[in-house]
Structure 1
Amino acid sequence: MKKAEVVLIPIPAMGHIVAVVEIAKLLVQRDDRLYTTVLVMHPTLDPSTTKYNESLAASTLPDRMRVINLPRVESITSDTKANNWLSTLIEGQKPHVKEYVSKTRTQFELSLDAPRIAGFIFDSFATGLKEVANEFGFPWYAFSAPGAAFLGCELHLQALHDEQGVDLTEFKNSDVELKIPSLANPLPAKLLPSVLFQKDSLANFLEQARALAEARGILVNTFFEFESNAVNSLSNGKTPPIYPVGPIVKHETDCHDVGWDGSKKHRDRDIMEWLDDQPPSSVMFLCFGSHGSFREKQVKEIACALENSGHRFLWSLRKPPPREKWEPPSDYANFQEILPKEFLNRTAKIGKVIGWAPQVDILAHQAIGMFASHCGWNSILESIRFGVPIVAWPLYAEQQFNAFQMVIELGLAVEIKMDYRRDFHGDNEIIVGADGIMKAIKHVMEQGKEIRKKAKEMSRISEKTLMPGGCSYSSLGRLVDDIIDNQP
């Protein structure tokens, strides 16, 4: 029996690392011949990533799996521009990845029992590392953390630019609607990610899209029944084989008593005990991701909407970083400094305001009836997995696209403001009024019978697809066969 090692490299952002670690676990659990190594690049994009990596080292990973932290790239400082951050990191990590491959090859040659590297799985945003795989003659696959529809959009936009000479930066604030093969409905161009509207970040986006054509296959964190139109559109003979292997959803309780931020689980017990006291499907949960936060004016409008709605709520309220700082939000020492006067007292019987939230555990709780979300892809899959309808409030990256997909394409969400956009580096927020927020949340909580039914049905399907006979289970099996059969 040949032992084969797969090396997986995510970008150093929380959602990407967690998803890639879960894929590594799935691979070793699926086939006894497979070994997996996750190489984590440093520096990371937020402090909680480091704490999560430490929790992995402290926990018992499955047999034949390991997580290794690569040395820090010292050339990256706080002054490194956001657009150049990732490309600088990848360039700086190439020697470290090469060193790992050389050492592993030597171990294989010296020991009959050591596994041989069979190939790489690179995050789709880290395909610049393909040069290392090519140099050593190893096949490589890409992992798309966003869904299949966005992957199709990325490839379509690259074709528009490269084959038809379309200047994608001109789509900024445009009223153009784009026909994209991975979507059934025309997409307003203004919902495209901000990176497309600036020349330097657009160049990086296009380079990543072009690299995908060279992959042996592309893993996508989705499942066929959820994005059947998009998956079918990618099976066109022009794109490498697509392997939908999701939904990859990780329970906080898998962390052996350590939360993503390194805290002990007793910090979360208060939240879960409060939820235990609420009726089923009665609580609105508001949480906007690891980089999601609002400034004071917007916070007050949200507070007003929650109070006036009369519904129970659980609100993860984070403190924005200082202006011009490219940092994740932090927790408030005292919520009174940002919320309307006496808000906490007036809503004490129906609401709870918290800082960092154990999102998956909360969404899995029967008391949750609605999720106001930034529409990050991981958050969407988590809400689907537990049958919780979404109120969409996208902030950045591909979240506006995801919101469009959930609201218009799939009918699994209601929008607060689909074209809302926040800039990491400044305060260009358009203030969304309390009335608009309240209208969306009341629609789901009071008239959302149909959307709730659709979410529950998709939840049932999402569980089934991962089991023997399910589409994602079969897709993972095809991937394993391809890796084993095509070892160098």
Structure 2
Amino acid sequence: MGGDENGLRIQVVVVPLPLQGHLNQLLHFSRVIAQRGATVSFVATSAHIHQVRRRVQGWDLHNFDIRFKELPMPHLPAEEIDAQSSLMFPFHLIPLFEAVEYQLGSHVDQILGTICSENNNRVVIVHDSIMGWIQTLAKKHSVPAYIFSCIGAYYRLWMKRVSDQTWGLSPLNISLKRCFPERLLKYAMRQRSLLEPAKGYIINTFSTLESEFVHQGREELIYSGKPVWSVGPLLPQAFFNDERRLQLQADTECVIWLDRQAPASVLYVSFGSISSLSATQIGELADGLERSGQPFLWVLRISDGAHSSTEEQFDSACKFLKQGYEKRLEGRGFIVRNWAPQLDILFHKSTGGFLTHCGWNSTVESISAGVGMLTWPLHSDQFANSALITGELKAGVEVKEWGNAEENETVSAEEVEKAVKRLMRSEEGMQVRKRVQELKGEARKAVGDGGSSCKDMDSLLHHFSQSISY
């Protein structure tokens, strides 16, 4: 499947944005196309390659033809993560996006030139949608390039319907200033202006989840009249086959704790890898979880830094808990202080709900695991994803109704308690769990033989072959 019309292997150069959610999706994509016969060169900084390799779940990197091409870490200003801030966007990461383009562009150019010369230009590029500058290098080397979207079609559709000139309220009644700082909006708009030569769009989604919104996106020219392939969910087959425990090198402490809990009883709480809650918000969330009486597994840590993760600093967020909190909830609550194996947690039989920031990775993973969501968006595409989950898919409930504040308002302990009980114990919560189990079945079908995503992946690899110039 990964060869061209002469039976020669296709060389696919994959260039992700150096953030965990983006690195993770594109590494999973690399696994799938390598499994189908392509050779993959995964291009990222050495620090981020180390990070994403360390966090692999459910499959062995050594079993796939994925070659890591390391870039040097760009020079960045000293970063600060303000634990007292109510602004949730990780501002400390914006200089990284800019530095990768301006400081590492020549390094990517050199790697691409070497790969092209070694493979007689039987090369295609797949790059993150917010790295439009890769298209310029692709044109220089006469290599076809494809866009990988790490966000869903629903979000892109709503963003298109907001006037580029008026940047006021989105249809979700949330100001764009709350979702994105102006500096990032300007960066993203410039990157989008460079995407015109792209051959098409690849999305980590599947037909039942978003076919309606992919179709509307095509009609409204969100994808510029180019082909769109829905190839998700990009998860190891072991999870769909309930074989995940066979893939673990060793059981982690949190998974062992889950083994002791009742089926579908635990609320998993995580806000992803790039956001940190304020000290005040941590206190309210902790009180709300305690008052709910629900067993919970909480990943409480600071954001990944621009230089990738700093495991030794993760524990600092726990200092905002009241003295004796963990001791008092011992047995009912478990706090993870660093990175957690999210797939193993979500697919565990004891996990019954997910309090989530609604990042696209977490959204797709939770649906694939059949776990209903309690949505608590913080920034970026997360408010749109929350609307998709709760309004369109009926696969979750909101932790509260969100206003049009430019800063994230604090969610009180009372609101947390009420929302947890609503998801985990109410009739509405039961209907959410029933619906998300249906979506889990559809996700499994999509990636199975003859499924919609399987067919789209076949079509994509065929398009790779046809687009290669000699």
TM interval, shorter chain, is 0.7 to 0.9
Q: Deviations over 1:119-146 (max 9, x none)?
A: 1111101121111100111111000001
The number of residues matched between the two structures is 437
- Cα 1:84/1:272, change in 2 over 3 Å: closer
Could you tell me whether the CA contact under 8 Å between 1:7 and 1:117 is conserved in 2?
no
Q: 1:2 Cα deviation (Å)?
A: 2.4
Q: 1:386, 1:320 → 2: CA distance?
A: 25
Q: CA deviation at 1:353?
A: 2.0
Which AA in structure 2 matches 1:50? H
Residue 36 of structure 1 pairs with residue 40 of structure 2: yes
- Counterpart position of 1:183: none
Cα offsets for 1:400-429 (capped at 9, x unmatched): 221122122222111114548999xxxx65
1:396–1:422 CA contact under 8 A, matched in 2: no
Corresponding residue for residue 167 of structure 1: 166
C-alpha distance in 2 between matches for 1:16 and 1:193: 21
Matched, 1:65 2:98: no
2:112 to 96, 101, 104: 101
TM-score (norm 2): 0.84
Q: Please give the residue correspondences for 1:179-198 in structure 2 after superposition, counting only pairs within 5 Å.
A: 187-190=172-175, 194-195=179-180, 198=182
Given the alignment of the two structures, is residue 301 of structure 1 paired with residue 284 of structure 2, yes or no?
Answer: yes
Compute the displacement of 1:485 (Å): 1.5
Task: Choose which of 230, 238, 258 in structure 2 pairs with 1:244.
Answer: 230
CA RMSD of superposed structures (Å) = 3.1
User: Counterpart of 1:12 in structure 2: which amino acid?
Assistant: P
Shift of 1:73: 3.0
Cα distance in 2, alignment partners of residues 314 and 285 from structure 1: 5
1:193 Cα offset (Å): 5.9
Match of 2:326 among 344, 347, 354: 344
Deviations 1:47-70 (A, max 9, x none): xx63334678x9643443312112
| Counterpart in the other structure of 2:255 | 272
Post-superposition offset of 1:431: 2.1
Instruction: For 1:66-81, list aligned pairs within 5 A.
Output: 66-74=67-75, 76-78=76-78
Shift of the 361–129 alpha-carbon distance from structure 1 to 2, 3 Å rule, reads same
SS at match of 1:211: coil
Aligned to 1:408: 391
| CA-CA distance at 1:438 after TM superposition | 1.0
Of 143, 149, 167 in structure 1, the residue corresponding to residue 148 of structure 2 is 143
- Residue aligning to 1:51: 51
Q: Which residue of 2 aligns with 1:182?
A: none
Q: 1:349 to 1:138 in 2, by over 3 A?
A: closer
Deviation at 1:85, TM superposition (A): 3.4
Deviations 1:347-386 (A, max 9, x none): 2232222212211111110101110011111011111011
- Cα distance change of structure 1 residues 391 and 328 upon mapping to structure 2, 3 Å threshold: farther
Does the CA contact (< 8 Å) of 2:116 and 2:122 recur in 1? yes
- Residue 446 of structure 1 corresponds to which residue in structure 2? 425
> Given the superposition, is the C-alpha separation of residues 272 and 437 from structure 1 closer, same or farther in structure 2, using an over 3 Å criterion?
same
CA distance in 1, matches of 2:248, 2:393: 36
Instruction: Report the CA distance shift for 1:321/1:358 in structure 2 as closer, same or farther (over 3 A).
Output: closer
Partner of 2:300: 317
Structure 2 residue 16 is the aligned partner of structure 1 residue 19: no
Aligned-partner residue type, residue 331 of structure 2:
K
1:5–1:118: 8 Å Cα contact kept in structure 2?
A: yes
Q: Is the 8 A contact 2:274 2:304 kept in 1?
A: no
Give the 3-state SS of the residue equivalent to 1:11 in structure 2: coil
State the one-letter code of the partner of 2:42.
Answer: V
Name the amino acid aligned to 2:65. R
- Residue 82 of structure 1: how far off its partner (Å): 4.8
Where 2:352 maps in the other structure, the secondary structure is strand
Measure the CA separation in 1 of the matches of 2:202 and 2:438. Answer: 24
Deviation of 1:257 after TM superposition, in Å, equals 6.0
Equivalence for 1:87: 98
State whether residues 154 and 384 of structure 2, in contact with CA within 8 Å, keep that contact through their aligned partners in structure 1: no
> Which of 146, 152, 160 lines up with 2:157 in the alignment?
152
CA 1:380–1:177 in structure 2 vs 1: closer, same or farther (change >3 Å)? closer
Unaligned runs of at least 5 residues, structure 2:
1-6, 80-90
Check whether the contact 1:467–1:473 (CA below 8 A) recurs between aligned residues: yes
For residues 86-135 of structure 1, the C-alpha deviation after alignment (integer angstroms, 9 at most, x for no partner) is 133113222112212322233335xxxxxx43311111011211111001
- Distance verdict in 2 for CA 1:55–1:255, change over 3 Å: farther
- Aligned-residue sequence identity (percent) comes to 25
Q: CA–CA distance in 2 between the matches of 1:320 and 1:105? A: 37
| Contact 1:191/1:401 (<8 A) preserved | no
Letter in 1 for 2:233: P
Contact 1:36 1:66 in 2 (8 A): yes
Are the counterparts in 2 of residues 407 and 414 from structure 1 also a CA contact under 8 Å? yes
Aligned partners of 2:246 and 2:155: how far apart in 1?
30
Aligned AA for 2:51? Answer: K
CA contact (8 A) 1:177 1:188 kept: yes
Distance 1:126 1:287 in 2: 27
Q: Contact between 1:147 and 1:377, CA under 8 Å: does it hold in 2?
A: yes
**Which shows bigger deviation, 434-443 or 288-297?**
288-297
CA contact (8 A) 1:289 1:376 kept: yes
Q: Judging changes above 3 Å, is the alpha-carbon distance between structure 1 residues 285 and 191 closer, same or farther for their aligned structure 2 residues?
A: farther
Secondary structure of the corresponding residue to residue 119 of structure 2: helix
Give the Cα–Cα distance (whole angstroms) in 1 for the partners of residues 331 and 310 of structure 2: 31
Letter in 1 for 2:418: K
**Could you state the TM-score of these two structures normalised by the residue count of structure 1?**
0.81
Q: Does structure 1 residue 435 correspond to structure 2 residue 414? A: yes
CA spacing shift, 1:482–1:231, aligned 2, 3 Å: same
**Whole-angstrom CA distance in 1 between matches of 2:28 and 2:350:** 27
Aligned 8 A contact 2:51 2:308 in 1? no
Measured after TM superposition, the shift of residue 26 of structure 1 is 1.0
**1:43 and 1:73 in contact (8 A); partners too:** no
